Each structure stands twice: as C-alpha cells, then as structure tokens.
Structure 1
Amino acid sequence: MDTIDLPLATDSWDEEELKAIEKVVDSHYFTMGKEVEKYEREFADFFGAEFAVMVNSGSSANLLSVASLIFCDKYDLNPGDEVIVPAVSWATTFYPLQQYDLKIKFVDINKHTLNIDIKEIENAISAKTKAVFAVNLLGNSINYKRLLKIADDNNLIIIEDNCESMGAKFNNKYTGTFGVLGTFSTFFSHHISTMEGGMILTDDEDLKNILVSLRAHGWTRDLPESNNLYKKGSNSFYESFNFILPGYNVRPLEIEGAIGTKQLKKLPSIVNGRRENGTYFLELFSDLDSVYIQKEIGESSFFGFPIIVKENANFNRDDLVSELQKNNVDCRPIVAGNFTKNEVIKYFKYTIFGDLKNADFIHNNGLFIGNHHFDIKSKLNSIYKIIRVLESK
C-alpha cells in the first residue's frame, strides 16, 4: 500500500527566485542594500503599513520589537514591567522579554482557537501590566476587536507575533498590522520563504528608526537625516562608526531581499491555495468524534492543521503519531505546547495566571500536520481515514 507522503513544508520557488539570486550574485554586492530596501517598501505597501524593517529571522524581529519599545520613551515599557503572553507559542516570543528583564505573565489559551484566551487577559491585568504580546497561532487571527478594546481601556501596548500567520485577516485587515509592531517570518517552512528572514511592520516612524539602528550595531549610519532619535552631524566619516544604542547585527542578506520581492508577488495565490485546503480540512475533520480541530477566527492563512485527541477517544496522541509516521506524514507538537513545562523557564521572571488547563491539554494531546499552497485534499482524505480506523478499534 502506498504511503501518504505529506511533508511539513515545501518551497514555492521557481525560475523567478533563481534569476533574482543570480542578479545579486552578478552585482557582487551581497550585504543589505537596494534589494532589501525594495522588498521592505513592497512589503509595507502590500500589508498597508507605513514602515517595514527586514531582519535575518522572525526571532530577531521579535527581539528588535521588544528592544525598540524599551528604548522609545513614548511607550513607557521598562525593565520589571509585566507583559501578558499566551502559554502556547514559539520560544522566541518569550526570550526577548526575558532578555530585557520584563516580567512575563503566562495566560491560558482558548481550547478551540488555540490563541490566548481573551477573557483571561482581562482578568490577568494588574497595575504592573504594560503590554500584551499577542500571538496569531498557526495562521489563525485573534479577535482584535475585543483585544484592542481591552488595550484601550487599560492603556496597554499590543505587539503582534504574526510569524505563523502571514496573509491572515480579521475584519478584512491583515494580521500583523493591529499592534504598534507586528512581526513576520520568512523561514523555509513559512508562507513565503527567503531561506531565512524576518520583517517588522509599524506605523510609528520613531520605532522604525530605532529598529533600523538596532538592526545594525546600534549605529547612526542608516538613519535618515531627519529623525527624532538622533541629530546626525555633517561629518559622514564620523557617522559611519557612531553608536547610540546597544544593538545587534541581525541584518538580512541582499539575496534574501531579492527573493522576497518575488515571493511577495506569489503570496495571494499561496494563501488562496492554503485556504482551499483549510476549508476542506475544516469540513472533513469536523465530522470526527475523537478529535478537536482549530476554530477559525476571521480568515486564517492555515499555516498547518492542528489535531487534538479528545479526552474520551479510544486512542491517544502517541497512537496517532505512530500511524502518521508509518505513512510518512510529518507531524509536530502544537508549536512548543505549554511553554512553562520547558526547563528554560527557570531563567525567566514569570508568573502564571490561574491554571493553564487548556495549554496542558494540547501539550499532552495535540499535534499539527503541514499545509501547502497546492492541493492536498486527497492526502487529507487519507489522514481522515487513519483516524476513522483508530476510532473503530
């Protein structure tokens, strides 16, 4: 019997990306330059933001976003302040908060959307709470109408980790554009790929300039002549090596920027393909009695398909994983599961609000399989049949 053979990720490159790489190679200019600038402008325009700053990964995008708020006085985010986060996300949602000495408050997720439980956010807010790091998990938007009202009522900063949800929408507005900053990843397995890469969107020019400085050593060289961060002098020699912030070197490559411009043009068709598979998945798998699937909020861009084995199922996650692996279906935990169960948590300053029963449940019972920009309906049918067989045993 043939196996299903469903990888977690595949590329969407063709000759256009290869030509873009060749063009950069022929130019003999490889570090961040005009191709990155072009990609940033097109990315901001596509998503309807004022500014885009490209970096070398989505993780670096999160790092610089947190750092920029620390260094921007208008946002009043300081070491020791409290930031609310979902208990389920990728590690580098949380690491920048730890690295900037912010106190992390973990809140449970909604069992069905897999995003942070908005009711719990309201209850978790304290006098020390300054921000919410909102995560759109696996392509699925948060209900931003409710979240932004909570933020407005409590004077909270909203940062969006949108690394898994490029192309998703809520009320016809792209996720990654609701917060003061929104982060994106273009790692190989994500919606579009520049090999490695990340992007930050913001409408705040002051934050943009801080990001630009932080991205390259904290120097002044890349700042525009007119900015509120630092008054540049007329001596370009001095300004070439003048440092004003404790920055990093997280610059992207020119090749990545060139690839990005080609990939961005494909994003609408990529998301459409993923949504077609996603609609089919929701219709098909909602018929199963033994598993939960993710409830769509807004218009998901369906990074992947979570499957959570129910309490009363007559099989467990290990059984399902074993059957999927036999059929060459790649599967993974749902992001990092309940992150507080990881040993690295001992280095954090954190509290847990209430209990994390839903995060625990998906930690122990959940997995996700890959989605793609091309038709995988027949493979989803086969996976559905595997679960049906497990149900019948």
Structure 2
Amino acid sequence: MEKYLLSDDTWNNEELEAINEVIKSNFFTMGERVKKFEKEFAEKFGTKYAIMSNSGSSANLLAIAALVYSKKLKAEDEVIVPAVSWSTTFFPLAQYNLKLKFVDINRKTLNIDIEELKKAITENTKAIFAVNLLGNPNEFNEIIEICKEKNIILLEDNCESMGAKYKGKQLGTIGLIGTYSTFYSHHLCTMEGGVTVTNDEELYHYMLSIRAHGWTRNLPENSKIYKKKEDPFYESFNFIMPGYNLRPLEMEAAIGSIQLTKLDRIISQRRENATYFKEKISIFEDIQIQKEVEESSWFGFAIILKGKYEGKRQQLVEILRKNNIEVRPIVAGNFTRNKAIEYLNYEIYGKLENADFIHDNGLFVGNHSIENKKNIDRLILAIEEFEKLNG
C-alpha cells in the first residue's frame, strides 16, 4: 500500500536543472542567486525587504536578534506567545534573555485566544509573537488594534502558513517582521531554508550583518547602522555585532526562484484538497477540525478527538499507521509540557486548558500540493474503522 505522506514532492526537471546550473557555476555559498530570490520573494509578497537564511528557525533567530541589537527590545522584556507552536518560535526569545508569557489557544482556530491575550497584557509586554498555525491566519484586526493601543510590537511566525491571506493581505507581512520556512515539507520547498521579511530598512540592515557573522561586508554603502570605510580590504573582516553563520546556499535560492513560480497553483490546490477534506470529515460528530480564519493555506489537516473519542488518540494513531498514513501531534502540543521549558525564562498566563486538550487529543495528517482525494478517502476509511471500535 502506498504511503499517505505528510508532504509531497513539488520538484520536477526545472528544479534539478537549477541545481545543475549552480554546480556548473562552481559558486555555491550565498551569492547572486540568493539576491535574486530575495528580490522575487519581496515582490511576490508585497514587502520592501526579504532576507533568506538557512532555515525557518534561523529566520526567527534573525528577527529577534535584529530587534534586540536595534534596541527595540531589551533583556527581560515580556513577549506574549501562544502555548501551541514549534520550538523555534520560543528559543530565540530565550536566547536573547526575553521573558516568554505563554497564553492559551482558541480550541477552534488553534491560534492564540484573543480574549486571553487581552487579559495577559501588562505594562511589561513589549511584543506579541503571533503564530499562524498549520496555515491558518490569526484574527489580526483585533491583534493589530491591541498593539496600536498598547504600543506593542507585532511579530509573525508564518513558517507554516506561506500563501495564506487575512483580509486580502499576505500573512507574514502584517507585523513589523514576518518569517517563513522553505523546508522540504513546506509550501515552497528549497531543501532547507527560511525567509524573514520587513518594511523597516534599519532592521533589514541588522539582519544582513547578523546572518553572516556580524560583519559589515554585506551591508550597503548607505547603511542605516554603520558607515563603511572606502577600503574593501578592511571591511572584508570587520565585525560590528555578535552574529551567526545563517547563510543559505545558492542551490536553495535557485530552487526557490523556480518554486515561487508554482506557488499560486500550490496554494490553490491545497485549498481545493481542504474543501474535499472538510466535506468528508464532517460525517464524524465527535471529530473537530481547525476552523478556518479568512484564507488558510492548509499546511496540514488537524483532527481533534472529543466526546466519546476523547482520550483515545493512541488507538486512532495505531489504526492510521496500520493503514500506512503518516501522522504527527499538532505541532508540539502544549509546549510548556516539554522538558526544554526548564531552560526558558517564562510564565504561564491562566491554565492553558485548550492547549492541554490539543496536546492530549489532537493530531494532524498531511495536505499535499497535488490533488489528494484518494489519500483523504483512505483517511476517512481508517477513521470509520476507529469509529466501529468505539461505537
């Protein structure tokens, strides 16, 4: 039986030829192809600046580092985050001595609970790191209003939600900084890779330096953060802040340029698959799926067991595996239940009851960038088998 995978392969000869062209050029590290992809990405998503890095995790790290070095955030500032997300939403905040405040999610949308968010804000709250989970937009009108009223920085972790829109605006471009992942299993696939976008030129220049060791070599002549000497020898190894090596490869950028031309079709197909999934899964009274806000790009299909199915997730997981259907938890569930939390400076607002429920009763299966009806039909048959055992 063919496996129903979490993701599918959107490459063809175009991507392979792009890789071959890089090999022929004999220039592999960050160069002109990266610049080209960044320009194309910014144009595609309607933002002034895009900076490619070696992963979506690094995209988040770049964003937080730039905010700290530019003094828009400082150590011990409070940053509100949803309790359900991937680890690298949280780790860069801790690495820069920021205080995380975990807030519960909305059980229907799986994104941060707006009412809980409002109550969690204090005078120490300096930023909200909104996560668009599994392709689904947050309810941004209210979040933007909160940020304006309280003078709070809005950031977007959009690593799972490329191509999704809120009120016609691309996710990732709504906050001061937004991040994307181009890991192989994501909407746009470059093997490894990430992109950070902003309209703030100063932050962009900070990220150009931080991405490559903290040196000045990649800064423009009119940089907002440092006046370069007219001596390329001096500026080749001149370091102005602590940085990293987060540089992407030319191969990844070359693939990205090809993939960008396919993105609209990919998102459209994922939305069509989701329509079919929603129709088929609706026959199960005690299965909840993610409530779509505006236009999701449907990274995957969340399944939450409730009612008579509550507490029986492992049984369903075993049936899915038996039927050769790949399955995962809903991201990391309630992240505060991971041992890594011991290393973070954090507090929990409220009881995180919805995050706990998702942690114990949630799972997700893959959505694909090609027509996926046969796999969805297999999923429904597997759930029917589960239902018979629990009738």
Query: For this structure pair, what is the TM-score category when the shorter chain's length is used for normalisation?
Result: over 0.9
Q: How big is the shift at 1:109?
A: 0.4
Question: Matched residue of 1:83: which SS?
Answer: strand
Q: How big is the shift at 1:79?
A: 0.4
Which residue is equivalent to 2:10? 12
Correspondence for 2:313 among 310, 317, 324: 317
Which residue is equivalent to 1:189? 185
Judged with a 3 Å threshold, the aligned counterparts in structure 2 of structure 1 residues 159 and 314 are, in CA distance, closer, same or farther, namely closer
Q: How big is the shift at 1:290?
A: 1.8
Alignment deviations for residues 311-361 of structure 1 (CA, whole Å, 9 cap, x no partner): 432771011101100011000000000000011111111100011000000
Distance 2:178 2:141 in 1: 16
Query: Is structure 2 residue 109 aligned with structure 1 residue 113?
Result: yes
Q: How big is the shift at 1:11?
A: 1.5
Q: CA RMSD in A?
A: 1.1
Distance 1:313 1:206 in 2: 52
Alignment deviations for residues 102-124 of structure 1 (CA, whole Å, 9 cap, x no partner): 00000000001000111111100
What TM-score comes out, normalization by structure 2 length?
0.98
Q: Which runs of 5+ in 2 are unaligned?
A: none
Distance 2:143 2:178 in 1: 15
Which residue is equivalent to 2:90? 94
Q: Which moved more, 1:360-369 or 1:303-312?
A: 303-312
Which residue is equivalent to 2:232? 236
Which residue is equivalent to 1:283? 279
Q: Is the 8 A contact 2:63 2:196 kept in 1?
A: yes
Query: Is structure 2 residue 126 aligned with structure 1 residue 130?
Result: yes
Q: How big is the shift at 1:381?
A: 1.9
Q: Write out the 4+ residue segments of structure 1 that deviate beyond 6 Å after TM superposition.
A: none
Alignment deviations for residues 161-189 of structure 1 (CA, whole Å, 9 cap, x no partner): 00000000011111000011100001111
Correspondence for 1:50 among 35, 48, 51: 48
Judged with a 3 Å threshold, the aligned counterparts in structure 2 of structure 1 residues 34 and 337 are, in CA distance, closer, same or farther, namely same
Q: Is the 8 A contact 2:133 2:160 kept in 1?
A: yes
Q: How big is the shift at 1:5?
A: 2.4
Identity of aligned residues (%): 55
Alignment deviations for residues 47-88 of structure 1 (CA, whole Å, 9 cap, x no partner): 000000000000000001001000113x2x100000000000
Distance 1:370 1:389 in 2: 19
Q: How big is the shift at 1:4?
A: 6.2
Q: Is the 8 A contact 2:136 2:292 kept in 1?
A: yes
Q: Is the 8 A contact 1:314 1:391 kept in 2?
A: no
- The total of aligned residue pairs comes to 389
Report the AA paired with residue 163 of structure 1.
C
Q: Which moved more, 1:333-342 or 1:377-386?
A: 377-386
Judged with a 3 Å threshold, the aligned counterparts in structure 2 of structure 1 residues 64 and 207 are, in CA distance, closer, same or farther, namely same
Distance 2:310 2:179 in 1: 40
Q: Which runs of 5+ in 1 are unaligned?
A: none
Distance 2:342 2:52 in 1: 32
Question: Matched residue of 2:180: which SS?
Answer: strand
Q: Is the 8 A contact 1:4 1:382 kept in 2?
A: no
Query: Is structure 2 residue 188 aligned with structure 1 residue 156?
Result: no
Query: Is structure 2 residue 219 aligned with structure 1 residue 223?
Result: yes
Correspondence for 1:370 among 356, 366, 369: 366
Report the AA paired with residue 12 of structure 1.
T
Distance 1:192 1:328 in 2: 25
Question: Matched residue of 1:223: which SS?
Answer: coil
Query: Is structure 2 residue 370 aligned with structure 1 residue 379?
Result: no
Q: Is the 8 A contact 1:4 1:379 kept in 2?
A: no
Query: Is structure 2 residue 288 aligned with structure 1 residue 292?
Result: yes
Which residue is equivalent to 1:82? 78
Report the AA paired with residue 259 of structure 2.
Q
Question: Matched residue of 1:305: which SS?
Answer: strand
Which residue is equivalent to 1:245? 241
Q: Is the 8 A contact 2:34 2:254 kept in 1?
A: yes
Distance 1:286 1:110 in 2: 20
Which residue is equivalent to 2:64? 66
Query: Is structure 2 residue 343 aligned with structure 1 residue 347?
Result: yes
Distance 1:16 1:269 in 2: 16
